[in-house]
Chains A and B, each alone.
Chain A
Amino acid sequence: MEENYKASPLKLYSYWMSSCSFRVRLALNLKGLDYEYIPLVEGQQYTPEFMKLNPISYVPVLVDGELVIADSLAIILYLNEKYPHQHPLLPTDLHKKAINYQAASIVHSSIQPHQNQARYIEKEFGPDQKLPWLRYHIGKGFAALEKLLKDYAGRYATGDEVHLADIFLAPQLYAATKRFNIDMDQFPLLSRLDEAYSQLPAFQVAIPEKQPDAPSSRTS
């Protein structure tokens, strides 16, 4: 998949550690879609070429022929509509579908943007401010997800199939546990889901350390 550099219609601009890129890698893997992995080097996101692809200069960016889409949720919903038969990423039940959107949004709008600010917080307010900031925002989001999903979870977040909520949760849980050492004891449901995701081949191949641009000698 990401090692297949033959010409293929799908190209993904990605960064190994980016949890937003991780979501899209997971979706592509679940759908069994080949893609060319184009790694972004630090700083490259501000080049005119890349800003033409994504004016806000974030990864991931998907190129599908002439179409360029950025933002992980936009990309994933596009992929789900364009390739609907392989592993649908949303349930058909409307209420469950809405819960998937809601859970994805908690990650997408209430956790990850604040997590992204951690470097700024460290720079402006000192290294001792970074961890409290992360713990607060991740903890708040995780507490909400525990409550939201308790009436819906099965083997995965909203039942026994992997859906959109899982695609957003899995990378967020990975970052929380592997990068930020968040104490997961308060989040038994999310801990169980984290374990379930780690068993999925689509997830195992999408993790940061397995990406072509991951530094081979670093631990997470």
Chain B
Amino acid sequence: MGEPQSNCPLKLYSYWRSSCSCRVRIALNLKGLDYEYIPINVVKGEQFSPEFRKLNPIGYVPALVDGDVVISDSFAILLYLDEKYPQRPLLPTDIRKKAINYQAANIVSSSIQPLQNMTILKYIEEKVSPDEKLPWVQCHIGKGFESLEKLLQDYAGRYATGDDVFLADLFLAPQIFTAKGFNVDMNQFPLLSRLDEAYSQLPAFHDAMPEKQPDAPSSSTS
């Protein structure tokens, strides 16, 4: 799966700790797709290299190369993969449930994750103080999680929108992982906590988590 295989048509540029990269890793695992893992160290600024900028002009991971096709942005990559490799579909067929999956995914990708990325946290740290980063992040994660608890209460089964894993779960799992890293008190979010526990039982999710990636520091904790 995420092994160096240079004759693999699928290549994923990823950072171990990036929740956006994690979403795509889960999808590739669920679909049983082999891929070459190409680490981009965003802390060292490797995303700003001219080579990587050619792949993704905005300089974020993940980026996917599939033969001649280059796509960035986790949402775009996931929908591309789902159409090109329809095994283990990432979306339900019911149009309403599909819409709820998009809505939940976008609460994470537009209302939570952009407000916790490195650029923003650095800004807060510089303009205010390092002590303000955590309250900022916890506030935005909390707001997003509260709304997800309410949105999903009428749809959740074993997973976010029923008894099968779908797109919403691919966005939720890495976000919950990140939230725990920021010491968000998950006791306030019983549904999301239950989902988190369910995800931890799935190999496709487990193998996609940060500490399992080739570029994870072997001695660090998550």
Contact = CB atoms under 8 A, between A and B. Distances in A.
A102 B56 CA distance: 10
B90 interface: no
B42 interface: no
Contacts of B102: 71, 73-74, 77-78
Contact of B99 (A78, A109, A114): A78
B147 A98 contact: no
A105 to B, nearest CB: 4
A114 B73 contact: no
Nearest to A124: B128
A71 B95 contact: no
Interface stretch (A1-9, A22-30, A142-150, A178-186): A142-150
30 contacts: A51-B150, A56-B144, A57-B147, A67-B99, A69-B99, A69-B103, A71-B102, A74-B102, A74-B106, A77-B98, A77-B99, A81-B98, A95-B69, A97-B80, A98-B69, A98-B77, A99-B71, A101-B73, A105-B109, A108-B110, A109-B73, A109-B75, A109-B113, A109-B114, A113-B110, A113-B115, A141-B58, A145-B57, A147-B53, A147-B57
Interface in B90-130: 95-96, 98-100, 102-103, 106-107, 109-111, 113-115, 120, 127-128
Contacts of A82: 95
B146 interface: yes
For the complex of A and B, 5 pairs with smallest distance between CB atoms: A74-B102, A101-B76, A144-B58, A147-B57, A55-B147
Contact of B107 (A56, A69, A78, A144): A56
Interface in A144-166: 144-148
Given A74-B102, A143-B57, A94 B107 contact: no
B187 to A, nearest CB: 19
A140 interface: yes
Contacts of B60: 110
B1 interface: no
Does more than half of chain A's interface fall in helix, strand or loop, or is it mixed?
Answer: helix
A178 B11 CA distance: 41
B21 interface: no
Interface of B: 53, 56-60, 69, 71-73, 75-77, 79-80, 83-84, 95-96, 98-100, 102-103, 106-107, 109-111, 113-115, 120, 127-128, 143-144, 146-151
Given A56-B111, A56-B143, A101 B80 contact: yes
A110 B56 CA distance: 13
Contacts of B59: 144
A112 interface: yes
Contact of A55 (B53, B71, B151): B151
A109 B110 contact: yes
Given A109-B113, A125-B127, A97 B83 contact: yes
Contacts of B100: 69, 74
A84 to B, nearest CB: 11
Interface in A124-149: 124-125, 129, 140-141, 143-148
Interface string A76-116: 01100110000000000011011101100110111011100
Contacts of B53: 147
A8 to B, nearest CB: 19
B99 A94 contact: no
A82 to B, nearest CB: 6
A70 interface: yes
A83 to B, nearest CB: 11
A114 B114 contact: yes
A113 B111 contact: yes
A177 interface: no
A125 B124 CA distance: 10
Nearest to A145: B57
